[in-house]
Structures are given as structure tokens and as C-alpha cells.
Amino acid sequence: MAAQTSHHTRSKSFPLPSSSNPLVSHIEEHLVRLRDSDAPSTSSSISHKLNALQELYDCVDKLLQLPFSQQALSQEQNKGLVDELLDGSLRLLDLCGTAKDIVLQTKGSTQEIQSVLRRRRCGELELIGEVRKYFTSRKVARKTIHKALKNLKAMETKHAFSSSDDHESKSMVSLLREVEAVTSSMFEYLLTLISGPKEQSKSGRWLLVAKLLHQKRIVCEQARRRDINEFVKVDAALKSLLSQKMSKSENIMNVEMQSQLKDLELCIEDLEAGLDCLFRCMIKARVSVLNIFNS
């Protein structure tokens, strides 16, 4: 607490949560790194951001336990500010829950395909049936993601925070808004990565034919690129599988495809673990704000 006493006191007689406070400085450093880092295009870069956000929220929760934070947020005139922060945190928790549900659904679909491929004698129709189920699941996931991202953009556009005349409250709320903003951006990156590139519009049968004819070449090109994430690789490989007339067992028992499915499963497990941890950290920080508000 010694660091707090060195701050200049204000009208409310408690120290300003400036960058001289170690926790505030640490949070600001996390925010700068998260804002300045490149937009993640792979699962590993997303996992790194999830870990960084967990550390950020851990610092935020510790900051919320300090007296100057509790005083800044507990004042009656700041009720509107705190309400808006709580609404924002609930929106982010919903996004996190949506992302968790989608990765779990995709994990289940990939495991079903892997189960079929592992059998010594798997029927072509059985495999194709599972692949079609996979793409049905992906289609539903993309619709969910599109709706979530649309709602996110709409809320960001309409969301107008209340202001406060108290300098300490402004500083605290401004910091928490920045945390909300970088978290929102991360979920946008994550959901976009899971969704994959936008599919081309259907302008006629010729487009579908051309797509099928060139699918194998596209898969090979994508396999050589390191910046293509596991979701896109598996989508491309399975689309190629559907476009072929598989009469030979070696086409069904495709070793490369099994490897790609396994990579996607491992990727999903990493994302699942990261989202679970982040969800708990976000809940903990939200509960701390609620405790301050209700005290």
C-alpha cells in the first residue's frame, strides 16, 4: 500500500490510480501489448492472446480489491458507470460462451469423422455422411458467429458510456473500458478464425463446377501455407473429399486428412482450455465489481 500514499490526493481524498501504481502499470502494459500485436491468423496466436487476457483479468481483479478502486466505483453518483461496465462484462461473457459452444460442436464433429477413418473397413457412404454432418454443423456455427459479430458491432456503435465529474472514477472506468475493448477485439478475431473465410456467393452452377475442379489444387496450396489455420485446412480437405469419386480405399484412408483432423482436435482442445480459464477470470472480475456495487 506504500505506493498509494505517494499519489497526489484529490477532492475525494483517495489516491489517483495512475501509472505509478504497480498494478495499474502492469495492466497498461498488457493493454499496450494486446493492442499493438498483429491480428491473430492462427490458433497458436489466438491461444497466446487468450493467455495474455487471463493475466490481464487477474491483474484487474487484484486492482479491484484495492481501497481506491472500491471507493471510486462504490460512489452513488457513479452507479450509471458501473451499470454500463457490468452490462459490458455480461456481453463479453456471452461471447465467450458462444465461442466455447462452437469449438465443442466442431470437436464432436471432427471426432466422429476420425472414428470412421480409423476403422479398417469404413464404407464410403458412411464417411461421406459424417462429412456432410460436419459441414451442416459448420454452417450452423457460421450463422451463430455472424449473428454474434453483428450484435457486437451494433452494441459497439450504440454503446455510449456515461461520464463522471470525479477524476479518480474517470481514470478507473477508462481503464476498465480499455480492458473491455481489447477483450471484445480478441473474441472478434477468435470467432472470425473459427468461421473461416467468407464463402463466395452462388452465382450459378458453373461456379460450383469450377470450385470442385480446382479444389485439389487449392488444398495443396493451403497445406503449404503456415498462416492457414486448422479450421480452414480441414474444411478444404473435406470439401475436396466430397468432390471426388472415391472408389479406392486409399482415398478414404487418407493419412494427411487424418493428420489434419488430429491437428484441429488439438487446436480445439487448446482453445477450449484457454476459453475456460478466461471465462473464470472474467467471472471473478465481474463478481468483484458486483461486490463493490452492492457493498
Instruction: Render pLDDT for 61-75 as a digit per residue (tens, 0 to 9).
Output: 999 999 888 888 888
* Residue 14 binned pLDDT confidence (cut-offs 50, 70, 90): very low
Which among 73, 56, 82 has a CA at the least distance from the CA of 179? 56
Which among 115, 114, 106 has a CA at the least distance from the CA of 135? 106
* Residue 256 binned pLDDT confidence (cut-offs 50, 70, 90): confident
Q: What is the pLDDT of residue 20?
A: 60
Cβ atoms within 10 Å, residue 1: 8
Rounded to whole angstroms, how far apart are CA atoms 260 and 275?
A: 22
Torsion sign across C-alpha atoms 231, 235, 238, 244: negative
* From 90-94, 145-149, 255-259, 264-268, the region with the lowest mean pLDDT: 255-259
43, 269 Cβ separation under 8 angstroms: no
Q: What is the pLDDT of residue 19?
A: 46
The amino acid at residue 91 is R
Q: What is the pLDDT of residue 141?
A: 94
Rounded to whole angstroms, how far apart are CA atoms 20 and 22?
A: 6
Write b or e for each residue in 145-157: b if 16 or more Cβ atoms lie within 10 A of its Cβ, otherwise e: beebbeebeeeee
32, 182 Cβ separation under 8 angstroms: no
Determine the average pLDDT of the residues in 190-196.
90
Grid cell at residue 172: 478507473
The amino acid at residue 62 is K
**Residues with Cβ within 8 Å of residue 270, at least 6 apart in sequence:** 43, 47
Grid cell at residue 21: 501504481
Q: What is the pLDDT of residue 154?
A: 72
Which among 97, 48, 47 has a CA at the least distance from the CA of 270? 47
Determine the average pLDDT of the residues in 207-213.
46
Q: What is the pLDDT of residue 59?
A: 95
Q: What is the pLDDT of residue 218?
A: 47
Chain-wide mean pLDDT for the chain?
78
Q: Give yes or no for residue 104 having a pLDDT over 90.
A: yes
Instruction: Render pLDDT for 21-44 as a digit per residue (tens, 0 to 9).
Output: 788 999 999 999 998 877 777 888
Which among 24, 157, 160 has a CA at the least distance from the CA of 80? 160
Grid cell at residue 78: 457513479
The amino acid at residue 103 is V
Grid cell at residue 112: 466422429
Grid cell at residue 285: 472480475
* Residue 249 binned pLDDT confidence (cut-offs 50, 70, 90): very low
Rounded to whole angstroms, how far apart are CA atoms 269 and 272?
A: 5
| Distance set, CA 170 to CA 74, 87, 253 (Å) | 13, 18, 61
Rounded to whole angstroms, how far apart are CA atoms 245 and 141?
A: 28
Q: What is the largest CA-CA distance in the chain?
A: 81
Q: What are phi and psi of 15, to 5 degrees?
A: -65, 145
152, 95 Cβ separation under 8 angstroms: yes
More confident residue, 153 or 100: 100
* From 122-136, 169-183, 202-216, the region with the lowest mean pLDDT: 202-216
More confident residue, 169 or 258: 258
Determine the average pLDDT of the residues in 121-140.
86
Q: What is the pLDDT of residue 235?
A: 92
